[in-house]
Structure 1
């Protein structure tokens, strides 16, 4: 098919894009309140443990005269602080759905009271194992410290949750722009028009694929904060590549290597599609001979590895700005924190993107 990317109504297109951007930014989804109590991530637990241990070590160092006294005090205090902290994190994680439905004052009060209770329980544990007697005054101090630590951690979680709102809006904006890019839209519609008379069934398939792409791009990302199955992302990428296959024909050569054990892994919405679009745009479109795109998923114990690899020939007519990669990386960080990573590895003749995330 001829690539009718050029269109005379460029001013109208620009106006439509601006209107859609404004509409998207002003109708950003409401923040999912469960995120503020999502303390189940390994990265967050690690930061909380290290922070408490650092403050505890510095405080005890001021009260002890020798290194041996400090080490003994750290050992006994760690029993109380870690048991209290981990209990608090576990209980908040288990009750995050309930806490998210409570009014704002209760969302503050209950975790703070829970922090005081867990710290008090840590003091009781010291007495129970016979490491150190704890006076009533010390129990009161422990409860106050637990309440203060819970309030500080809860405040940080709320700030983190608010920071996700503009990040989600920006990611949705970039993905929506890629879905409604005029060249792609007009090429697809022109392809469907050309097929209407010679192959109506195929034209209907093209329009169905295009409709599905728009449905996902325009859907409410905030309603899917828990992620979507990887199999759904694979199906969306298949639809996109099926449309591009009609335009490029034999120039676009796609290989799928999919591990069925990865199908139910939860991933951020619109994870794969921008990566395969980049592969087509920069690895296939600029080259007269076309190019190869390989999508691989593989289960590795408690992790899932995703690779998108494309051949590289002539330089792309349009220089990329790395927005797709940055936003995919940002989505992974928001959903999995330090448990997920994205690596881009350019090399002679090919460009590879590798994603590793927990199952």
Structure 2
């Protein structure tokens, strides 16, 4: 599918808007420190455990003369490393807000100190079980501190990937632009309705105003699903005036899913793609269906549209890639994105943790 993100006719920022943008950037810089020790997420825990286990596998090769000696050494080291890394993750997760208030240098020192403490804990576990004699307390503390510093570096990189220039630029581009032809088509529709159906024209302009209000608002890290659905309704109401009976919209909204958190304006490109590649090329039109459903601790969102046979060309998938990347930045491995074209029906499926 081609990239049908909302593009904009407005390229200039007013002085007031520029000032707000600088203030927002400063706010993000202050918040970035708190995000460094966001070690409570499943993806962070999984990667940390796998990294430490990989270190253990390699370390066990030293001094191992055969496979049995290597397995034995690896089992002993795992008995110390696994409890240690889990303790470090629990401590950093519990103390993330307190650590976030420290200067950056203090956060690195605190992370290393907690790593040394975790290393001593792991060593103590082996001593208690009678597997180490004598106990290498100093080596354990140093190893724990070194691994912890590496984990802190990974968390710092992750925090920078979530709130920084790349992600902010993508979101700013999405929010700062409205597709010119969509804007012109909407205004032309409103002009055509002014005399014949003034009330309908007024309603159309109100929907356009609401769409612009969200698209040009200051970016946020996350918004509730209910807000995204409301924005999609405004957009589809506008397009309904243009396409008439060719655009058939079906909604299946689970109110229990309304509180799920999404990156702002993440549904908009999906709905636009459904209209552009489903309705526009087809003289008979198409059905666009948006559904949400809560399944335990997961919310499933689907945007589906019928695709006319033999019309249009496959796009580059830029809008889909944008949505996938932004979803990953917010929810990591807990957020899932899938898209497929089957039997003339294109579906995008998102899974969001609650």
Structure-2-length-normalised TM-score: 0.85
The within-5 A match list for 1:240-319 is 240-313=235-308
Shift of 1:317: 6.4
Measure how far apart 1:235 and its partner are.
Answer: 1.3
- The equivalent of 1:214 in structure 2 is 212
Output aligned runs, 1:330-345, within 5 Å: 330-345=325-340
Partner of 2:152: 154
| Residue pair 2:309, 2:344 contacting (<8 A) in 1 also | no
Tell me: CA distance 1:92–1:196, structure 2 relative to 1, closer, same or farther (3 Å): farther
Partner of 1:352: 347
CA deviation after TM superposition for structure 1 residue 16, in Å: 5.1
Displacement of 1:329 in angstroms is 0.3
In structure 2, distance between residues paired with 1:100 and 1:326: 31
Confirm or deny: 8 A CA contact 2:288 2:305 kept in the other structure. yes
Deviates more, 1:144-153 or 1:211-220: 211-220
- The number of equivalent residue pairs is 337
After superposition, the Cα gap between the structure-2 partners of 1:237 and 1:356, relative to the gap in structure 1 and judged at 3 Å, is: same
Q: Is the 8 A contact 1:281 1:316 kept in 2?
A: no
CA distance in 1, matches of 2:293, 2:80: 42
Q: 1:199, CA displacement in angstroms?
A: 4.3
Structure-1 residue corresponding to 2:50: 50
Offset at 1:253?
A: 0.3
TM-score by length of 1: 0.84
Deviation at 1:146, TM superposition (A): 1.1
Residues 303, 356 of structure 1: 8 Å contact kept: yes
3-state secondary structure, aligned to 2:284: coil
1:142 counterpart residue number: 140
1:1-359 to 2 correspondence within 5 Å? 19=12, 29=25, 30-31=28-29, 32-33=31-32, 34-128=34-128, 130-133=129-132, 135=134, 138-164=136-162, 165-176=164-175, 179-221=177-219, 224-225=220-221, 227-313=222-308, 320-359=315-354
**Coordinate RMSD, CA, aligned:** 2.7
Give 3-state SS (helix, strand or coil) of 2:291's partner: strand
SS of residue matched to 2:61: helix
Structure 2 alignment gaps of length 5 or more: 1-6
2:4 maps to none
- In 2, Cα distance between the equivalents of 1:186 and 1:259? 34
Partner of 2:3: none
> For each residue in 1:267-316, what CA deviation from the matched residue of structure 2 results, as whole angstroms up to 9, or x when unmatched?
22222111011100111012222111011222333322221111111666
- Tell me, in whole angstroms, the C-alpha distance in 2 between the residues paired with 1:148 and 1:107: 14
Query: 1:74 Cα deviation (Å)?
Result: 2.4
CA separation in 2, counterparts of 1:328 and 1:15? Answer: 18
Distance 1:49 1:191 in 2: 57
- Distance (whole Å) between structure 1 residues aligned to residue 271 and residue 352 of structure 2: 18
The 1:236–1:97 alpha-carbon spacing in structure 2 relative to 1, beyond 3 Å, is farther
Separation in 2 of the partners of 1:122 and 1:76?
Answer: 10
Q: Relative to structure 1, is the Cα distance of residues 263 and 64 closer, same or farther in structure 2, using a 3 angstrom cutoff?
A: same
SS in 2 for 1:63: coil
In structure 2, C-alpha distance between the alignment counterparts of 1:193 and 1:15, rounded to whole Å: 21
Deviation at 1:107, TM superposition (A): 1.9
Task: Give the distance between the partners of 2:313 and 2:238, measured in 1 at CA.
Answer: 20
